[in-house]
Amino acid sequence: MKAKIAVIAGDGIGPEVVAEGVRVLTRVGRKFGHEFSLEAAPFGGAAIDLAGDPLPKHTLDACLAADAVLLGAIGGPKWGPSSPVRPEQGLLRIRRELGVYANLRPIKLLPALRDSSAIKPEILDGVDLVFVRELTGGIYFGEKSRTATQATDVCTYTVAEVERITRVAGRLAQARRRKIVSIDKSNVLETSRLWREVAERVVKSEFPGVSLEHMLVDSAAMHLIRRPTDFDVIVTENMFGDILTDEGAMLASSLGVLPSASLGDGRRGLYEPIHGSAPDIAGKGIANPVGTILSVALLLRHSLGLGTEAAAVEAAVTAAIDAGARTADIAEKGRSVLGTTAMGDAILAAMG
């Protein structure tokens, strides 16, 4: 098949890990006979430096014309809170412009990394869950104001927004263990009361046979660490999902190994590792590319419909790690570690 992929490396370690994702895409194209057209475009802080805008028009145009978008990471102290234009503004805009309202963040522990987590190994056995985070609503997109003595961020959700994200969770649950936990703060927030009512109605009327449990976010944060195997599909709003998925990364040993897919109603999606730009290690060649490479697998599966190729990438990651390939963030004490490129080499070698 032929496909057009926009590649936006971003800031910090973004260019380093995206380079490994591109190598994997190139190998998949050659191995399986596909023609992937890759177009690089600036984004985030790098785009601010070049054009004064974190999401220049030509970058957005390239993304809108693509079948999928591969993103590294954005941000850094150079464009901190005092900066008049910030990289994160571009991230919110690109999500809205692409219409990607559902962020999927699968968390599955690779058995070979069982001893790499700070959490007791016996708690982690069997962890296999997926977060469905609403991505284009809530407090991040609400009205904002600031005076010398007060700041306001408005959290708003509509019935339609809750319906569509619940349907994404419902479809996923039907293909998995048919169990959804919806996370909110309905004892305090009116938006959460709406969320709970709508989620209950949608699951009951449209997904018979799928169970739905409601859980308050503070309780969920504790339960996620104490008994993570209780969860299958977790659906929640934007800010709660942002926070809880970083917590959930501890279940898989490191932020560096987790991918994400941001999807809308069409096939085009935005794919990125869940980690940040890690400016403290940028340029050192030690960042973990696994999250980006697994994001490539999600890209192949969800936007291009290439399930066999996606499975081959995932199997190569597992095989490389099973064979002992480790970057510093997932290495047990005393184990030798690989740099970013060498980790990519190990995964490519496992692909054959």
336 and 266 housed in the same domain: yes
211 and 279 housed in the same domain: no
The predicted model gives 17-29 an average pLDDT of 98
23 and 59 housed in the same domain: yes
What band does 117 get if pLDDT is binned at 50, 70 and 90? confident
What band does 43 get if pLDDT is binned at 50, 70 and 90? very high
Tell me: pLDDT of 80 over 90: no
The predicted model gives 102-126 an average pLDDT of 91
Q: What is the pLDDT of residue 115?
A: 85
Tell me: pLDDT of 66 over 90: yes
Tell me: pLDDT of 118 over 90: no
Contacts with 84 (C-beta within 8 Å, 6 or more apart), sequence order: none
Q: Active-site residue among 184, 185, 232, 271? A: 185
For residue 61, indicate whether it is catalytic: no
71 and 17 housed in the same domain: yes
Domain tally for the chain? 2
Tell me: pLDDT of 315 over 90: yes
d(CA 124, CA 254): 13
241 and 298 housed in the same domain: no
Tell me: pLDDT of 69 over 90: yes
Query: Among the three residues 251, 278, 302, which one is the final residue of a domain in this structure?
Result: 251
239 and 156 housed in the same domain: yes
129 and 243 housed in the same domain: yes
Taking only the tens place, the pLDDT of each residue in 182-204 is 999 999 999 999 999 999 999 99
The predicted model gives 116-136 an average pLDDT of 93
CB atoms < 10 A from the CB of 34, how many?
16
Taking only the tens place, the pLDDT of each residue in 236-290 is 999 999 999 999 988 998 899 999 999 999 999 999 999 999 999 999 999 999 9
Q: Active-site residue among 101, 140, 157, 271? A: 140
Q: What is the pLDDT of residue 87?
A: 95
The predicted model gives 325-352 an average pLDDT of 95
245 and 121 housed in the same domain: yes
Q: What is the pLDDT of residue 325?
A: 97
Q: What is the pLDDT of residue 334?
A: 85
290 and 351 housed in the same domain: yes
**Domain carrying residue 294:** 1-113+253-352
When the pLDDT of each residue in the chain is averaged and rounded to a whole number, the result is: 96
Burial of 38 (0-12, 13-18, 19+ CB in 10 A): middle
Q: Active-site residue among 11, 67, 184, 242? A: 242
Q: Active-site residue among 53, 128, 153, 246? A: 246
Taking only the tens place, the pLDDT of each residue in 245-257 is 999 988 998 899 9
Q: Active-site residue among 49, 125, 218, 280? A: 218
The predicted model gives 39-54 an average pLDDT of 97
For residue 185, indicate whether it is catalytic: yes
Query: Can you give the CATH number for the domain in which 331 is found?
Result: 3.40.718.10
Query: Among the three residues 251, 277, 311, which one is the final residue of a domain in this structure?
Result: 251
For residue 218, indicate whether it is catalytic: yes
Query: Among the three residues 220, 251, 282, which one is the final residue of a domain in this structure?
Result: 251
Q: What is the pLDDT of residue 82?
A: 84
121 and 221 housed in the same domain: yes
For residue 140, indicate whether it is catalytic: yes
Q: What is the pLDDT of residue 83?
A: 87
Tell me: pLDDT of 217 over 90: yes
The predicted model gives 91-115 an average pLDDT of 95
Tell me: pLDDT of 47 over 90: yes
17 and 44 housed in the same domain: yes
241 and 275 housed in the same domain: no
For residue 246, indicate whether it is catalytic: yes
